[in-house]
Amino acid sequence: MSGNDISFREIKENIDSLEDVIGYRFKNRDYVLEALTHSSYSNENKNFRYNERMEFLGDSVLGIVISDYIFKKETSVPEGELTKLRANIVCEESLSRAARKIDLGSHLLLGKGEEITGGRERKSILADAFEALIASIYLDGGMEPASKFILSNLRNIIKDSIDGKMYKDYKTQLQEELQKNGASNIWYRLIEEIGPDHNKTFVMMAGVNEKSLGSGSGKSKKEAEQDAARAALENIFGKSFVEEE
């Protein structure tokens, strides 16, 4: 949903439709409305709160639910492998896939610029909105329905991850490759923001210690960090390494 002319009836119908898909009814719809509102829409409609704070909370709820689940299920897996497994389950690629399964993109409130440039299919927007949706369920109903939503919608991704299927989380790959050589001080720094507030492009640099390894860009800092990690892997190991991964 985009533009400045959305009626309360259309918003209600949009939430009704999403509730049908996810199987949860909100007692306080302000939570889910905030979760569905992208910053680009909020910039055009000042009375709408955008979802970045919800994303922050949803990320934490997601982390504890997945950690608890794999800790109890994979009783013989050591801490390092559990960390890698969790990272694969909660990475942007995984969450955007889960968001597409419930057609979350069609329910988002986007500004005109994001609508035109394909924001409904952008991985970073979908993954962030999925985390925000988790937060909205948690705030509205508590941990039990939030956990049920997470485990239901990530079931296949969790199974694939346990079975060894890894999604392209370039940050995790870069960290693992550098740590093989004893590097530990891996960093990401914002070096530039391009464009207006409602349609920014972020440029991030990845590096280790005092050395810069590669830069990348994206419509969110998370997306830019992934792109920077990909560039770093390519610069260190060659393009074929990244393509094979």
What is the C-alpha to C-alpha distance for residues 89 and 66, in angstroms, rounded to an integer?
8
- Residue among 52, 59, 160, 177 flagged as catalytic: 59
- Residue among 44, 92, 131, 225 flagged as catalytic: 131
**Catalytic residue list contains 245:** no
Is 93 annotated in some ligand binding site? no
Is 55 annotated in some ligand binding site? yes
Residues 6+ apart with CB under 8 A from 61: 134, 135, 138, 143, 146, 150
**Catalytic residue list contains 131:** yes
- 73 burial type by CB count under 10 A (0-12 exposed, 13-18 middle, 19+ buried): exposed
What is the C-alpha to C-alpha distance for residues 50 and 7, in angstroms, rounded to an integer?
18
Is 131 annotated in some ligand binding site? yes
| Residue 138 CA: distances (Å) to CA of 38, 94, 214 | 19, 20, 37
So which residues are the catalytic ones? Answer: 59, 131
Residue ranges of the binding site: 55, 128, 131
Residue ranges of the binding site for Mg(2+): 55, 128, 131
